[in-house]
Amino acid sequence: MNNLTRDNNTLKKVLFALISIIIIVAILILRKDYQLLSLFRDMEKLKEYILSFGNLAPLIFGFIQFLQVIISPVPGNITTVVGGAVFGFWQSLIISSIAIILGSIAAFGLARAFGRPFVEWIIGKERVSEYFDKITRNRKIIFVLIILLPFFPDDIICLIAGISGMTWGFFILTMLIARPPGLIVSALVGSHGFEMPIWVWIVIFIIILLVLFAYNRVKKIIDKRSE
């Protein structure tokens, strides 16, 4: 029994090491190839790039969604808008949810494994300093609210969470509950654009306002307690 447990632990470590190497090599390639990296900054180019793979387009889109969480050039909700335009609402939502949640878990794990220097290498010291304090000192509610808000830098937050002392259980639960709402909004915008009924826009706007209000209220309360 002990040997079996030891073998399983060794296998997990080997798999994690292989995945880490693949991800880091991909990051190095993208950081050096500015033409590839520019795809994340131009929605039309990204759309054309995905469609150029034909039947493999959904797989490529899923890989892009997974990888962009770790590279963090743009929030994942923006690439989900592109996915909505290419694949429609449901396919984009399903692919994005699976890939981004898995990518978030990978980012969290890499940050825990390689520490603050790795996170600073990916997103820069200034951003780490800016957001680190917001999700430490038991400020889990701030983390949840940032993940909930669409078009916030939630991918950056996943990396920083990995060096904040946050537990695996809380992080994964937050991803499963708080990630999908923002992706739903993004997939809707991408698939329907400005053709959505006005009431849908009103509901989305009200929800965003409520989350922003809750974020600001909680932040003020926490700041007062810290003084």
pLDDT value of position 192: 78
DSSP assignment string, 168-210: HHHHHHHHHHHHHHHHHHHHHHHHHGGGS-HHHHHHHHHHHHH
Q: Are 96 and 69 in contact (CB under 8 A)?
A: no
Torsion of CA 73, 75, 76, 77, to 10 degrees: -150
Chain-centre distance for alpha carbon 128 = 16
pLDDT at residue 83 greater than cutoff 50: yes
Q: Are 30 and 72 in contact (CB under 8 A)?
A: no
List pLDDT tens digits, range 150-202: 666 777 888 888 888 888 888 888 888 888 888 888 888 888 776 667 766 77
Domain of residue 190: give its range.
Answer: 2-226
List pLDDT tens digits, range 39-80: 666 778 888 888 888 898 998 899 888 888 877 655 566 788
Torsion of CA 34, 38, 39, 45, to 10 degrees: -120
- Range from 130-134, 158-162, 203-207, 214-218 carrying the lowest mean pLDDT: 214-218
Six-digit token string for 76: 């994942």
Spatial distance between the Cα atoms of 142 and 139, rounded to a whole number of angstroms: 6
Q: Band the pLDDT of 27: cuts 50, 70, 90.
A: low
Could you give the C-alpha distances from 7 to 10, 13, 72, in angstroms and in order?
Answer: 5, 10, 34
Number of folded domains that form the chain? 1
Residue predicted with more confidence, 21 or 154 = 154
pLDDT at residue 4 greater than cutoff 60: no
pLDDT value of position 13: 59
List pLDDT tens digits, range 85-143: 899 889 999 999 999 999 899 889 888 888 888 888 878 888 887 777 777 665 677 78
pLDDT value of position 133: 73
pLDDT value of position 99: 92
pLDDT value of position 97: 92
Q: Are 44 and 152 in contact (CB under 8 A)?
A: no
Residue predicted with more confidence, 33 or 72 = 72
**Helices 89-123, 57-71: inter-axial angle, 10-degree rounding:** 30
